[in-house]
Amino acid sequence: MTVTGAPVQNVIPGYRGGVTPVLVIAVLFGAAHMLTNGQYGFHRDEWQFLSDAQHLDWGFVPYPPLTAALEYLGLKMFGLSLMGLRLFSVLAQVLVILASGLMARDLGGGRLAQTFTAIAVALSPLPMFWATEFQYSSFDLLWWVLIAWCVIRLLHDDEPRWWVAIGIVAGLGLQTKYSIAFELAGVLMGVLLTDARRYVTNRWFWAGGGIALLIFAPNLAWLIRHDFVSYHFLQGIHARDVHQGRADGFLRDQFLLNANLFAVPVWLAGLFACFNDRRYRMLAWMYVVPVLLFLLAQGRFYYTGGAYPMLLAMGSVVGERWLRTLHHAWRVGITTLVFMGVFAIGIYATLRIVPIASSGPLRDFALQNNIDLREEIGWDEIVARVAAIRDALPAEQQANLGIIVGNYGEYGSIALLGQHYHLPMPITAVNTGWLRGYPQTPPTTFIVLGSSHERADELFTDCHLAGHTANALGAANEESLDHPDIFVCGPTRKPLSELWKHGPEFR
């Protein structure tokens, strides 16, 4: 590649190599996560997907429907299995690694560039984390990377029909997480600001847009029917995140967390190379536009994580070309140093992120440094405790009992694990639980979780403390720290219909 715009794929003619190393890296990544994903329990967020999978629809208050649909499929295939349900997230990240290596190949990289790209992506914090849990961001990352790969193929082949593939992936992305609209804004600006604007008059460009809208249409209809409740949810959650400082450090964490820290020079070289290559300049705008938009909107750092594999791929190609100009000893030394650095950062990230051990110092280190692992602990104990409190009540109170919960983790765990104890379905106005309503015959006794004593007394009569939500490991998480008390209360002070008029609570 040169600053005059020579195509990157001609940088290393005849030296593209096979993709076998990339495939091996992706498979090893997937196997490692499958072996470790069964250590603790489901994360708070996973309980929300699991409960929503019991009520399939074309939309949910916090997100579009695709993730819950995949969870439904997983439940049918594997039952309530940690490793089985998380298989989908692992496969998504395996595909991310494969697509990243293919991007390096299609940009003209040989085996070294492809291998480094795959390893750098696999040992980056975000793909590593999204493989440990079933999250919509696990699939959102995949759609970002696949769109980038399709754009590279579009520019590499100058084949407008790739817009159809881009449209399909964009539609799936919109059915997964609305923030992919920021990447699509980058794609559009990249088209308008570069030589790719020639595609605007091509029928395949518009066909791709039409396909994306067609795939998104069912969720759009759901949003219209529900007064764009998801938009209001995102506004509320964004205000909470900004207030709590969750959006702080956005630019800092682009370097520290969105890709392997030791590979920062590589993706920066990739960004510079994209800007200086006329054919692939569109990729630079696909990075810059989302980063600037999220920066202005005060988004969280990981929202742009899907833009880094394409930059790592481009930077690896440029780096490979540069290494080939060096003396053999320098080439070997620098290559060894870079790989060792990426592995060192990757090992450290693994110890913090991946649930390697269920006991001992590795477990303690992970739990101390990873709040998300702590959010996987204690749900079975909470449900068992609620069942014990129910069983201790007089028969007349058990006969007309309701369980009120304050968050979606409590809702999902009781909805699914509570079946073993024959607990009634929980009641909540949080997120999509609000759409499911409340019992038409009001319970006269309530077990109340996720609430302070003051709030419980405000909503119910005759509340008294009945138990706590502590876990056996003593893990400090939201349940054990923020609202550890469980109450037994009498009837609500106002009819549930009055409480529901306020609309859903956003969590």
pLDDT for 194-203, tens place per residue? Answer: 999 999 999 9
Query: With 50 as the cut, is the pLDDT of residue 12 above it?
Result: no
H or E element, residue 38? none
Query: With 50 as the cut, is the pLDDT of residue 9 above it?
Result: no
Co-location of 166 and 251 in the same domain: yes
Strand order across the 464-468 sheet: 401-404, 445-448, 485-489, 464-468
6: pLDDT confidence band, cut at 50, 70 and 90?
Answer: very low
pLDDT tens string 433-492? 999 999 999 999 999 999 999 999 999 999 999 999 989 899 999 999 999 999 999 999
pLDDT tens string 25-50? 999 999 999 999 999 999 999 999 99
User: Would 456 be classed as within a structural domain?
Assistant: yes
Position 254 scores a pLDDT of: 97
Range of the domain at 445: 379-500
Work out the average pLDDT over 158-163. Answer: 98
Q: Which two tokens stand for residue 165?
A: 């593939």
User: Would 50 be classed as within a structural domain?
Assistant: yes
Position 16 scores a pLDDT of: 56
Query: With 50 as the cut, is the pLDDT of residue 3 above it?
Result: no
C-alpha 277/C-alpha 299 separation (Å) is: 29
Name the residue with tokens 């949080």. Answer: 430
Q: Which two tokens stand for residue 320?
A: 């490979």
Percent of the chain with pLDDT over 70: 97
Co-location of 354 and 383 in the same domain: no
H or E element, residue 202? none
pLDDT tens string 247-274? 999 999 999 999 999 999 999 999 999 9
Co-location of 324 and 459 in the same domain: no
Sequence-distant (6+) residues with CB within 8 A of 239 are none
Co-location of 187 and 92 in the same domain: yes
Co-location of 113 and 174 in the same domain: yes
Position 17 scores a pLDDT of: 60
Task: Give CA torsion, residues 252, 253, 255, 256, to 10 deg.
Answer: 110
Position 358 scores a pLDDT of: 86
Co-location of 69 and 210 in the same domain: yes
Which of 360, 395, 411 represents a domain boundary (last residue)?
Answer: 360
Position 172 scores a pLDDT of: 98
Name the residue with tokens 């595609």. Answer: 199
Angle between helices 66-78 and 82-106 (to 10 degrees): 120
User: Would 117 be classed as within a structural domain?
Assistant: yes
Position 2 scores a pLDDT of: 37
Position 234 scores a pLDDT of: 95
Number of structural domains in the chain: 2
Co-location of 330 and 395 in the same domain: no
Asked if 403 and 427 touch (Cβ cutoff 8 Å), the reply is yes
Co-location of 385 and 348 in the same domain: no
User: Which SS3 state, helix, strand or coil, does residue 446 take?
Assistant: strand
Task: Please give the model's pTM, rounded to 2 decimal places.
Answer: 0.94
Could you tell me which of 27, 33, 26, 22 has the C-alpha nearest to residue 90? 33
Position 14 scores a pLDDT of: 37
User: Would 1 be classed as within a structural domain?
Assistant: no
4: pLDDT confidence band, cut at 50, 70 and 90?
Answer: very low
User: Would 204 be classed as within a structural domain?
Assistant: yes
Per residue, what are the HEC states of 336-396? HHHHHHHHHHHHHHHHHHCCCCCCHHHHHHHHHHCHHHHCCCCHHHHHHHHHHHHHCCCHH
User: Would 3 be classed as within a structural domain?
Assistant: no
Co-location of 222 and 97 in the same domain: yes
Amino acid occupying residue 454: E
Which of 331, 360, 389 represents a domain boundary (last residue)?
Answer: 360
User: Would 349 be classed as within a structural domain?
Assistant: yes
C-alpha 264/C-alpha 286 separation (Å) is: 18
C-alpha 205/C-alpha 504 separation (Å) is: 39
- Mean pLDDT, the chain, whole residue set: 95
Query: Can you list the alpha helix ranges (DSSP code H) found in 107-202?
Result: 111-122, 125-130, 136-157, 162-174, 180-193
Co-location of 340 and 393 in the same domain: no
In angstroms, the Cα distances linking 251 to 66, 202, 285, 446, 468 are: 30, 37, 17, 46, 40
Per residue, what are the HEC states of 388-440? HHHHCCCHHHHHCEEEECCCHHHHHHHHHHHHHHCCCCCECCECCHHHHCCCC
18: pLDDT confidence band, cut at 50, 70 and 90?
Answer: confident
Co-location of 348 and 383 in the same domain: no
pLDDT tens string 113-157? 999 999 999 999 999 999 999 999 999 999 999 999 999 999 999
Asked if 11 and 321 touch (Cβ cutoff 8 Å), the reply is yes
Co-location of 292 and 397 in the same domain: no
Which of 326, 360, 394 represents a domain boundary (last residue)?
Answer: 360
Query: With 90 as the cut, is the pLDDT of residue 10 above it?
Result: no
Query: With 70 as the cut, is the pLDDT of residue 185 above it?
Result: yes
User: Would 2 be classed as within a structural domain?
Assistant: no
Work out the average pLDDT over 319-339. Answer: 97
Sequence-distant (6+) residues with CB within 8 A of 504 are 61, 229, 233, 429, 430, 431, 432, 433, 434, 435
pLDDT tens string 278-306? 999 999 999 999 999 999 999 999 999 99
